[in-house]
Structure formats: structure tokens, C-alpha cells
Amino acid sequence: MWFVDRATITVKAGHGGRGCLAFAQPPYIRFPSPDGGNGGAGGDAIIRADPNIATLLDFQFRHEFAAGRGGHGGSNAKTGKRGQDLVIRVPVGTVIHDAATADALRDLTRPEEQVIIARGGRGGLGNATLAAAARRATGRRRKSPRALRTAQDSVMAGAAGDERRLTLELKLIADVGLIGVPNAGKSSLLARISTARPKIGAYPFTTRYPVLGVVTLEDRGVFVACDIPGLIEGAHQGRGLGTQFLRHIERTRLLVHLVDLAAVDGRDPLQAFHQVNRELAAYSPALAKRPQIVAANKMDLPAARANLGAFRRGVSEAVWPISCATGHGLPALLRAVWQALKEEQ
């Protein structure tokens, strides 16, 4: 499955229908009377959050969306049919931006939350309505016949609907974000504690897109965890998978920072820990202040056990030794995560 978290689209609301120019002459009436109905209003363009959609993949190849046009007015003072509304469904967590100004217009964070992003045009007036308005205006300064016809044509034509160019940006909604350098074991941890099945491999950037997993604690409750692709130096400037996915941990309430304590890839664990925190601070100061739980992974290896003491002395947070390979320490880690989530409510 492709994970698409950004798209640009053009949305057009429906045009209003044209008002009708018609006359009726009932029996025994000498002169015909205006009888044209008003045009129908154009349909609105609505963006709605759908919990059954996971990515913005639907907008990868389709970029233009249009609501229905209002029906034209008819004789016997019949009003045209209103245009059909356009409903665009997006994942929960989608932020809608104006593509020209980059201003955020709406953040859809709840299922079925929606916003009317473009209003349909009003329907044109029929000559029955225009005649009634002219009768009410009797006594006012008269316009020339030509000016009157021009004004009449302008109000009989339906108004154009709004047209907007939008940028859709998906920010996943999760309780816990799993962060760390590549190959720290984030995907292995998510696979161990949830039913998610992220790709796991012994090479950097195995995870190419964020993966959500639902974690169930039998005696406590449920929370959602998000596996974020590994962060390298310069990630806040777009290096590696950088800013492309850093946005997905902005909504999390808690970060679980995994560290490869065995230094399998040759990275010093303490330096890797501080490097990731520097990238978080450079990307968003608010994100750097998010509560963290530090998990020292790969404790099944002798090198990790040898590095544990020095690592604990180099960080100010409590360190939870775990092994995603054997499951050692995971129950205690999950209890600590649940307790931290309760405190952040």
C-alpha cells in the first residue's frame, strides 16, 4: 500500500442555475404576466473526515473536484433544482491549507467532522420575481430601458460557485510515537506489542512510512502507537525521511525513545539519543518538550548490558531496559507508558 500524506487539489462549488424568462396569459386576462421561476442554487463542496480512510492516496491521480450545478428556473414560477453537494472524504487528522497562502483553514481531528470549503453560487432570478421587485420599486428613479435590460440579464444569470485550490496534509493521530535512529528496533517493538505488522529488516530505513498499531493492555486499557521512520542528523531539514514524517508525531501525547544500546550499527548510544532530541528541538520546540520514556533496546546482547550503566549516567530520564527479540522488559515498559498517558490526560 502506498502511504500518501500530502496532496494538492482544486475544488469547485456548483454554479447557480439561470432564472427563467416566461409569460402566462390565463383565460379572460388581456395582458400576459411574468411567470418565470428562479434558478436553483449550486451545490456546496464539503470535506469530511472518514475513519475508514488511512491515506490521501485517492488524491494522487485525481486533482479536480466539482459540485453539481443548480437547475434552471421554469415556467409557472418553478424554481430550479438545487445542485448536488460534493462530499470529499479524507482521513481523520487531515489539515486543510489554502494552497496560495499556506494558511491553515481547518484541522479535521474527529470522525465525521466536516467543513464547507466552497459555497455554491446563488440561483438567478426569474422574471416573476423581477416583476414583483419592480412593482415594489415604483416611485423610484426610473432607469433607461437599456440599463434595465442589462441589470435584468445580470440577476437572471446564476452566480458562479466558489473555486479554491487546497493543500491537504495528513498528520496521523496516535497516543504514543515511537522515535529513534534507524535500526533502533521501533518496528520490532510495534510488532511485539500490537497486531500491526510493519516491515522489519536489518538495514536502515526499513520503515518507509508511519505505521499505526493498537496496543491492548488487558488489565488497563487501549492506546494507539505510531512507528516513525528513523531520524538521522539533519532530519529537520528533510534529510533521510526527515520532515516528510516528523509531522506525524506532532499530535502524540507521549514519545517512546528507543535506543540501540548494543551499538550494532556502530553508533554510540548516548550520542544517538542526544542527536534525535536535537532534531526534535530544531523541528519544533514544543515537540522537544513532549514527555519521553527512554527504552534501552537489545538487552539480550552482551554489548548492550555492558553499555547500560554509562548510558544511564548520561541521561536525565529513567531508562527501561528491554529486548524486542525476547520480550524482556516489555510488560514493565507498557505499564510505564500507560501511567504516563494517564498523567497527560
Secondary structure of 234-272 in the HEC alphabet? CHHHCCCCHHHHHHHHCCCCEEEEEEECCCCCCCCHHHH
Residue 111's pLDDT is what? 92
With respect to CATH, is domain 173-344 assigned 3.40.50.300?
Answer: yes
Average pLDDT over residues 28-43: 88
Nearest to 46 by CA among 19, 15, 84: 84
Report the CATH fold assignment for 6-169. Spo0b-associated Gtp-binding Protein; Chain: A, (2.70.210)
Distance CA 181, CA 162 (A): 46
pLDDT at 144 over 50: no
Residue 206's pLDDT is what? 52
Domain segments of the chain as ranges:
6-169, 173-344
Residue 24's pLDDT is what? 86
Distance CA 255, CA 337 (A): 9
Average pLDDT over residues 122-146: 68
pTM listed for this prediction: 0.73
Query: According to DSSP H, which parts of the chain are helical?
Result: 127-136, 145-156, 186-193, 242-246, 269-283, 285-288, 302-314, 330-344
Residue 150's pLDDT is what? 54
Average pLDDT over residues 165-170: 94
Per-residue confidence band for 203, with pLDDT thresholds at 50, 70 and 90:
very low
Find out whether 179 and 186 touch, Cβ atoms under 8 Å. yes
